Amino acid sequence: MDINTYKPRKKIDNKHLLTLMDYSASEICEILKLAQELKHRLKKGKPHRYLKDKTIAMIFAKSSTRTRVSFEQGIRQLGAHPIFLSSNDIQLGRGEPVADTVRTLERYNIDGIMIRTFKQSDLHELATHGTIPIINGLTDDYHPCQALADLLTVFEHFGKLEGIKMVYFGDGNNVAHSLMIAGAKLGMEVVICCPKGFEPQPEITAATQNFGNVTVTDDIALAAKDAHVLYTDVFFSMGQENDTEKRNALMPYQVNDAVMDKANANAIFMHCLPAKRGEEVTAEVIDGPRSVVFEQAENRLHAQKAVMALLLR
């Protein structure tokens, strides 16, 4: 689907955002178009209190700078009230069933839940037993809000998504999964370049290949050739042990000047942050003129506001 010719409907059919697997190309375009509009309104100082007086709970089993601040700011800018709940504040999965948590929060007039946690199954249980929208702020399997912000960033830079080649280097993790899903559905060429043994989950790869052009390879030169976007993430996600064997396997897939030189002349560098300079990326690349990592970080705010506005309005 060509995002440039898509005509927004101001609504989507999904009730939750658990994974972008459940979303059509048109629904992803709907989110991106609204994110653009909300970004414009914020820059112009135009009010957009679409969720006035609603209350959204933010549940964090995993801590995060960008997820917490972008969601909390976004909720306030939409006119709603955020409630922060860390794993120390609630009993989710520790004695109290997940189903009881969502049923209780609903009784306190909570209008929606954003959750950043480990198990994808927790989100599905919240969605199954509750009646309010559930938004995936990150799980071990998927990071849909990051992928939406990433596609918004790519679209801003190239004016299109169809035909753009995006290459992800490193561990085939939750970020890689969501990039594969969203990119394939909107006509991008998505390449995951990683050493053997660190590929994305095979069932997710197979599903995304049914949507569009997705390749998994260990050939760095082939992957980077003619790429418009080079993307990487930390070698060790939150909660993972700092393993020497894994680092040694992934170090050849570091994004550096030599890798950037293999890409398209106007290629950009992306990273979901936080970054470890000297490991998955060199300082010269991430702090250089082709890096758009802070535009990415800002676009988390706009993409997530669009998701909340569409699901809760």
Whether 76 is catalytic is no
**Side chain identity, residue 212:** G
Whether 73 is catalytic is no
User: Measured between alpha carbons, how far is 58 from 68 in angstroms, rounded to an integer?
Assistant: 8
Per annotation, catalytic residue among 143, 228, 271, 302: 143
Cβ-defined contacts of 175-179 (< 8 Å, 24+)? 175/143, 175/146, 175/147, 175/233, 175/272, 176/200, 176/233, 177/141, 177/142, 177/143, 177/201, 177/204, 178/19, 178/20, 178/142, 178/143, 178/144, 178/146, 178/147, 179/147, 179/150, 179/231
CB atoms within 10 A of CB 142: 24
Per annotation, catalytic residue among 122, 141, 272, 304: 272
Whether 77 is catalytic is no
Per annotation, catalytic residue among 111, 122, 150, 233: 233
User: Measured between alpha carbons, how far is 24 from 28 in angstroms, rounded to an integer?
Assistant: 6
Residue owning tokens 């999904």: 14
Helix (H, G, I), strand (E, B) or coil at 60: strand
Structure-token pair, residue 121:
């199954």
Per annotation, catalytic residue among 16, 66, 116, 302: 116
Tell me if 172 sits within 8 A of 55, measured CB to CB. Answer: no
Per annotation, catalytic residue among 16, 68, 177, 300: 300
Whether 157 is catalytic is no
Whether 48 is catalytic is no
Whether 233 is catalytic is yes
Per annotation, catalytic residue among 146, 254, 296, 304: 146
Positions annotated as catalytic residues are 116, 143, 146, 233, 272, 300
